[in-house]
């Protein structure tokens, strides 16, 4: 396991869960916030900071990070990253778990994906989309499922995807549970799954479930048939 410097943008449930899990795995994690000195926020994050995690500004978390995790609401992510700046983000791996929802429950990125928008806005960064098809609890505890699940990678940079694959493994996901979908355009499928995810959650009464890609026993007939 290669230990890395990780910055987490977002102090909500997802950001906190990922920060805690990667810190337990030995990574050097900083949580970035637009209000790092807010007493209410620091009280909310007390358990994490007591365990050694540091809270900094969004720019401070980005400066710290080899891998910068976007765990902010998808409707605000690009604007927040612009406050950090393209120069500060150049060369960084941006691990994007965000999905944008509008007030009516529809997606804020119906024709593209947030992952693509981030990559287009910050071409010097290396965006990898992953983990947005599962609940925060399942993200860090895949063994809580009755059977193996599948998580996905989308991105243009092979080295960045390999680094993210390692971080996903540190959350407990086996290598054969990670499916590389290809370039960043495939992030659309990951994000748009959110609509089906919501439907499954309502039908089953829980957000704590996974999905699994199941292939035919014969290997299939190929995409050209």
Answer whether residue 212 is part of any domain.
no
Q: Range of 194's domain?
A: 5-204
Within a domain: 42: yes
- Residue 198: inside a domain, yes or no? yes
Residue 81 corresponds to which tokens in the numbers above?
């990253």
For residue 156, what are its two tokens?
């243009």
For the chain, the domain total comes to 1
Q: Would you state the pLDDT for residue 37?
A: 86
CA distance 204 to 32: 34
Asked if the structure places residue 150 within a domain, the reply is yes
- Strand intervals (E) in 10-90: 28-33, 54-57, 67-70
In the prediction, which pLDDT does 124 show? 97
pLDDT of residue 119: 98
Regions of the chain where pLDDT drops below 50: none
What's residue 217's pLDDT? Answer: 87
Note whether residue 71 is domain-resident: yes
Give the SS3 label for residue 56: strand
| Residue 142 within any structural domain of the chain | yes
Residues 74-110: tens digit of each pLDDT? 999 999 999 999 999 999 999 999 999 999 988 998 8
**Domain at 119, CATH number:** 3.40.50.720
């Amino acid at each position: 396991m290669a230990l890395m410097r990780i910055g987490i943008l977002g102090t909500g449930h997802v950001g906190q869960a990922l920060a805690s899990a990667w810190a337990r795995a030995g990574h050097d994690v900083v949580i970035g916030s637009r209000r790092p000195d807010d007493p209410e926020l620091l009280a909310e994050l007390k358990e994490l900071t007591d365990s050694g995690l540091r809270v900094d500004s969004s720019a401070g978390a980005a400066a710290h990070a080899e891998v910068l995790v976007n765990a902010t609401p998808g409707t605000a992510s690009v604007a927040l990253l612009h406050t950090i700046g393209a120069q500060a983000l150049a060369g960084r791996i941006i691990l994007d778990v965000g999905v944008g929802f509008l007030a009516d429950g529809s997606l804020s990125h119906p024709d593209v994906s947030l992952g693509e928008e981030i990559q287009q806005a910050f071409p010097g960064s290396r965006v990898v989309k992953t983990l947005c098809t599962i609940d925060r609890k399942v993200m860090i505890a895949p063994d809580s499922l009755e059977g193996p699940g599948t998580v996905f990678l989308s991105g243009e940079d092979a080295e960045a995807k390999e680094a993210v694959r390692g971080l996903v493994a540190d959350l407990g996901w086996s290598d054969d549970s990670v499916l590389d979908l290809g370039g960043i355009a495939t992030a659309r499928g990951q994000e748009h799954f959110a609509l089906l995810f919501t439907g499954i959650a309502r039908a089953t009464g829980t957000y704590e479930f996974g999905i699994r890609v199941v292939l035919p026993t014969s290997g299939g007939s190929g995409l050209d048939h």
